[in-house]
Amino acid sequence: MSIALITGASAGIGAAFAQELASRGMNLILVARSEDKLQALADSLQIQYQIQVQIIAQDLTEPDAAAIVFDKVEQQGHSVDLLINNAGIGDYGDFAESDRDLQLKIIQLNTLVLVDLTHRFLQGMRQRRSGGIINLSSVAGFQSMPYFSIYAATKAFILSFSESLSAENRSYGVTVLAVCPGPSETKFFAEAGFPSYLIDLVSRTYTPTKTVVRDALDALEKRDAIVVPGNPINQVLVNWPRFFPRDAVANFWKFALAKR
């Protein structure tokens, strides 16, 4: 039976991936910081779907986190058929006034760990000439976003990186997909420190996490390189910057995201 490894699996889109893949009969390795949440989710999925679920409680912002996760999977003798790099965090506010350590953690989690895990698990997939990697980017990755600068920059990196890997690995039977959701029904914006009025505004365009997951898995099956799931407004968000000067796009978001 195939095995999927999901980072950031304890809540939000990661938990939705776990639920959907379990319903399709896939065994799971769930990775996140919270052991209690992971264990509760694992127990529920095992009972409901009669699958095997392993949990790895690991803070991926810690040094060598990717190596620790990979070594634990290797020690169990598992071959990962689908890697879902979902873990990520953001931070709202003026970069110069932000917590520097937090900004570096965002880069560590959103990009460095993603690259490290991808490199480690990709080797086996290429040898087996089969496998899939889903990297969670965002509609934010298509444009610069003042007051959300580090997050948007990391998502742009993920988008470009995933497109490149998609082209490199297609002939090896490995599909690499960048999933670029817009606002989703998670606690992301509150945890990133967005003002309440902005949270209320973006909540009107929320895409259900189930929709994000199902659109992503459909795109993976079709061997697409990019998918923008859910609400049609997300297609507008990723395409409108193509028609305007880059500084105009940045200035628009500076106005839209500024504190009132």
For 170, the 3-state DSSP assignment is: helix
CB 93 within 8 A of CB 193: yes
CB 183 within 8 A of CB 151: no
Structure tokens of 76? 């169990």
- The Cα–Cα gap between 87 and 9 comes to 8
CA angle at 205 for the pair 203 and 206, rounded to the nearest 5°? 65
Which member of 49, 92, 147, 151 is catalytic? 151
Q: Give residue 37's Cα distance to chain centre.
A: 18
- The Cα–Cα gap between 160 and 6 comes to 21
49 catalytic per annotation: no
CA angle at 152 for the pair 150 and 154, rounded to the nearest 5°? 70
**Quick one: which of 127, 217, 134, 122 has its CA closest to 176?**
134
In terms of Cβ atoms closer than 10 Å to its own Cβ (0-12, 13-18, 19+), residue 227 is: buried
CA angle at 216 for the pair 215 and 220, rounded to the nearest 5°? 120
Give the residue numbers annotated as catalytic, written as ranges: 151
